[in-house]
Structure 1
């Protein structure tokens, strides 16, 4: 499996402050779409980035390959709606992730005593 960063650019710099009803409807569908991908284990993290030069969205995904990452971006309801949003899909060359501790690896705290 491979990891990709999907960067979603809004249709204009003032977005979302000046969002239209159609854009907000598409954003609601966008949120539901990505929640579904997170529930499936494909999206590891998704959310808006408060960049001083303008808000943009990010999704960190784990998929088979570049084609699968591109397909996710193309299926996003904000892209399908044709409202001026655009994705950049970039491979992540190396990723350090949190280790999931099993029951034996969890140390007891003083409060547990």
Structure 2
């Protein structure tokens, strides 16, 4: 398995305090989308991070060795909505403890 640390950056530093109705709708779909990926076993953890410099979202992906995060990221509703969100994707060298291989 390969793992990736994905950081979702909001369109502005004041988000989510001044979220528009369109952004709120996209965020609602975003949460549902990642919950489904978690049920599929592709996400280890996801959620908002309350960084004093500004909030951001975290997703740790767990993909097969031939899997790539790009397709998952590209299908995220906040990315597809084109409202200024973007992801930083960082491959992880190791995940400890190692996941069990059933």
Distance 1:98 1:79, change over 3 A: same
Q: Does 1:8 align with 2:15?
A: no
- What secondary structure does 2:68 align onto? helix
Match of 1:25 in 2: 25
SS in 1 for 2:57: strand
What is the number of equivalent residue pairs in this alignment? 100
Query: Secondary structure of the residue that 1:58 maps to in structure 2?
Result: strand
Deviations, residues 33-78 of structure 1 (Å, cap 9, x unaligned):
0000000010010000011100000100111358621111111000
Gaps of 5+ in 1: 101-113
Please identify the structure whose Cα radius of gyration is greater.
1
- Could you tell me whether the CA contact under 8 Å between 1:26 and 1:81 is conserved in 2? yes
The 3 A distance-change label for structure 1 pair 36 and 86 is same
TM-score (norm 1): 0.82
Q: Matches of residues 1-113 of structure 1 in structure 2 within 5 Å?
A: 1-64=1-64, 68-97=68-97
CA contact (8 A) 1:66 1:91 kept: no
State the 1:99 CA deviation. 6.8
Structure (1/2) with the larger helix percentage: 1
SS at match of 2:24: helix
**1:95: Cα distance to partner?**
1.0
What's the secondary structure of 1:26's corresponding residue?
helix
Moved over 6 A (4+): none
The DSSP-based 3-state class of the residue aligned with 2:53 is coil
SS in 2 for 1:68: coil
